[in-house]
Structure 1
Amino acid sequence: MGEKLVVIGQGYVGLPLAMRAVEAGFDVVGIDVDEWRVKRLSVGESYVEDVGEGELAAAHKSGRYFASTDYTDAERFDVCVITVPTPLREGVPDLCHVGSAAEAIAPALRRGATVILESTTYPGTTEEYLRPLLEDGSGLRTPEDFFLGYSPERIDPGNARWRLDNTPKVVSGIDAASLEKVKAFYSRIVDEVVPVSSVQVAELSKLLENTFRHVNVALVNELSIFAHQLGIDVWEAVDAASTKPFGYMRFTPGPGVGGHCLPIDPSYLSWKVKRSLGHNFRFVELANDINDHMPDHVVSRISLALNQRYKPVKGSRILLLGLSYKKNTGDCRESPAIEVAKALRKLGADVRAADSLVDDFLLPAGIELVEPTGEELAQADAVVVLTDHDHIDYDLVQRGSMFVFDTRNRCHGPNVETL
């Protein structure tokens, strides 16, 4: 019998990890409190885009994977990885899911086991928050009795090039022995591990990665607003700057930021700085302000464009292309496109949306999900490109639409206006 791994959370981070661990020879129990998820996994249905149903079927066939809502199935584990969400609640980090997972797994903790947190959080969480919960619930102490570490997730849903196995993995432990255990585990899962000196360094590294992207997206978003007012094509400027082979990284404008990371993770860092040092993290706060208002800017540009065509927003038929928060994914939670849809609907527009990757039950009330057919495009007063899915026929969009407002620079022509 192989080593027993428990992965708490079977979402876009935990499920790919569970599948890869099965391939590496672990006996894996995927724990999730969502009964709907567990039922789907148990019958071989995947709801995570990076895990195909063939991969899930192979894991079941191996006899080394099953999903459960029952923490008694976690007993006598060798390694436990916690991959639960860490949202914000009224601007404050909400660690309730981490806390619940720790309290539930602690009774199953035994001497010699390893617990690893992957959830994105502020520096200090592993030692100051997770450690006491595990110790109090188990009666054991670390590092004397069990090992504890942190390894930030680096999953990029829908990225076919950089997967879990070939993306370098930052690893850490609360002491040297814990670091060795965490390294040994991930060395069986990924091609390259990157050890760091402390869990705080690892926790900060994840926030740095996402804060870097967040502030640069905000920079180019604000630049796009001013470039439009100055009559300059920001997309051409970005293309030109991108030819520089050093000292520059390409970022492009969009209708805002969404998903599980960018709108949330930098705020964890800002909160920690404010709470521990009494200072405002001005870069993060400014980036939040710019990116949070991009959906409003997009709606304003659409309204102005319709007005110039002698059409009010109220009563206009508007077709939105792409509702998910990023390219070629189906997750539209925390998506700026959804905020655009809600705002247009509130203004009285007849809003329709085309996104074959999104489940219609996730859509706001009053938004009809349609196919981007030639007829649908022709009947729209405005077609708005919000997420640039590759499966959309942009030539048809440009040819078949009266007016296109494109926030992703995929369409070109006299009837197209870009962000």
Structure 2
Amino acid sequence: MAIKLICGILLAAALLGCLADAKSIASTYPIQTQIPKNHHSHSPPGQTQTTGHNEEYRSCEVSENDRITCGQDRIDQHGCENINCCYQGGRCYFAKMVTLQCTAAAEVILVVARDATVPSINLETTSLLGSGTRCDPITTISFAVYHFPVTHCGTVMTDESGCIVYENKLSSTFEVLSGERGSITRDANFEVTFQCRYHGFGVEAVIFQPLELPSPHSFGALGLLRAELRLGNGQCMNKGCVEEDVAFFSYYEDGDYPVTKVLQDPVYVEVRILERTDPNLHLNLGNCWATSGPDPYSHPRWDLINQGCPNYDDSYTTKMLDVDIPGLPFPTHYKRFAFKMFTFVNRAMSHPGNSKKKTTFDEEVVHPITENVFIHCDCSVCIATSQNSCVKSCARKKRDIGAAKKMFRPDPTVVTSPQIIMSN
């Protein structure tokens, strides 16, 4: 699964002094260079891209108590910045990101910051390809530090025209929720492949960056009942503002799609009746669900609302939002709800058992994530009477719901959102 890094996935390369002089150059380290947020790599598959050292690409906002020393004792600011670490108050420390160092002594130092991704990495779930002595990290609240010989911990060695390459992978486990028709996760499935490349003249450290996914076309569907599903994009600009109160002040337009979201980001959904001015009409939602493609009847599928009520099998329960807002014409023509962004998991790759337990995937088959999400709702209209208010309650019995007088046709209309993608 691709995930959004605060400073981007690292892509690093630097030369050390000649290996023959390694014993006399004790403070040599490779320089890691970060691809900044919003930078997109256009490298072909299997290739990497390097950039020069740039101060703005680092994140040095690490609290003093959480700082982990980088480099040797008494290193100065120039030497600290040359190994791409942060320097403040006479101390050199690792940045809030993923830092790889390959030493001339054939050792790997890999430092992973908890806040290097959005959402944050669960450092307790990270691991290398192999296990054994020195393969477990030393963890703090904010960092996990791996320090091991290049030949250990599942590292694969290859010879590329005189360059000895040691490659390994760091990944995390994630929680999977499974339903009858699909499985999802809201955890960041962190995964990064890194290499230490030893030449006859120096050392190169490389971390691979996932490629950007293309943006598929958006899709909408309308039935006999004219209805529309759209996403609110209003944001809080003032202190003390409640996002739910302003989310529907503005909406994404056609040119904004596909909309990108980070895992666990709130997604604000509105369904409304079009071209009707009868105040007695009430819009009712039956089921709302998400799929990985624009076809509302495709799989995998994840239920957000069942028979007008939130899907309580979801640990992040969909929240129904109030539409009784002063100044909104015909509020009964609207339904609004919010859910936390997720991404689909290939259910065939998960281990059987309790669906709410942590699930680990074999490294050779980790391709569990589908990053496209489309939202669908089936909706209908009823006319309020003295005997029936048309207001659905999750505690209401089925015979009461069925008493509502429907318009147009008994079959509900299905409306579909344009595409939402999980941001890289």
Superposition TM-score, scaled by structure 2 size = 0.29
More helix by share: 1
Relative to its length, the structure with more strand (as a share) is: 2
| Structure of greater relative contact order (alpha carbons < 8 Å, 6+ residues apart) | 2
Q: Decide which structure has the larger Cα Rg and report it.
A: 2
